[in-house]
Amino acid sequence: MIIQVYAFTRIEQALTAAEIGVDYIGFIAGKYDLVPGELSFAEARRLAEALPAPSVRVALTMATGVDEILRMAEAVGPDIVHISTDLEEVDEQAMEQLRLRLPNTTRLMKAIQVEGEASIADAQRFAPLSDLLLLDTKVRGMPGIGATGRTHDWRISQRIVDSVGIPVILAGGLSPENVGTAIAEVQPWGVDSNTWTNLPGSPVDKDLARIRAFVQAVRQAITP
């Protein structure tokens, strides 16, 4: 079970999270004044380069243009590029271009909003163009998909996991308190936390105690 945590802005916290047991270290690459925790490309590269193996470096982008996303990937050098914009802002044609033009060593992850039956078809459309899917919650009026602190219908997520044939990371309001139940109900390949591993009231400062509790809860959930 892969454990992913967003959105790190401080190198020392990212390093500690890796030591605690976070597999995928997520950060937001690109300052577009859209979401909290944005790093410049240079800041994101410094964080990425500081992480030791086997940590996986996941760069979330709010860019919508293929060339801009590729510029980020070249400047930052992540292991995974996470497309977190609204679904059709980076559509199937753009995803196909990214798959063709990104280095073979860079994986592509597409965020899918889980809202109802239509989300299953959306996931199936984008799965052939992605290396991974991230299932998250969309709140109207907020940019992109995710970082809401809210759960969604895990029954839909479970059906997506069963139908797409590629690794799926479950996100959306996961915390140390509910991640065990989420794993049992959805059986994802990985789980993700952002809001509920932040310090209370902060959109950017990570709570290392909460991260430790999240990792422990995941390990308990997958231990026979």
Is the CATH number of domain 2-222 3.40.50.300? Answer: no
The pair of structure tokens assigned to 171 is 């996100």
120-136 in b/e form (b: 16+ CB < 10 A) is: bebbebbbebbbbbbbb
Burial of 93 per CB tally in 10 Å (0-12, 13-18, 19+):
exposed
Which pLDDT tens digit goes with each residue over 100-152?
999 999 999 999 999 989 999 999 999 999 999 999 998 776 778 877 778 89
Which pLDDT tens digit goes with each residue over 22-62?
999 999 999 999 999 999 999 999 999 999 999 999 999 99
> Can you give the pTM of this predicted structure?
0.96
User: Tell me, what amino acid is at 25?
Assistant: I
How far, in Å, are 9, 44, 153, 156 from residue 204 at the CA level?
7, 15, 26, 29
Which pLDDT tens digit goes with each residue over 51-104?
999 999 999 999 999 999 999 999 999 999 999 999 999 999 999 999 999 999
Domain ranges of the chain: 2-222
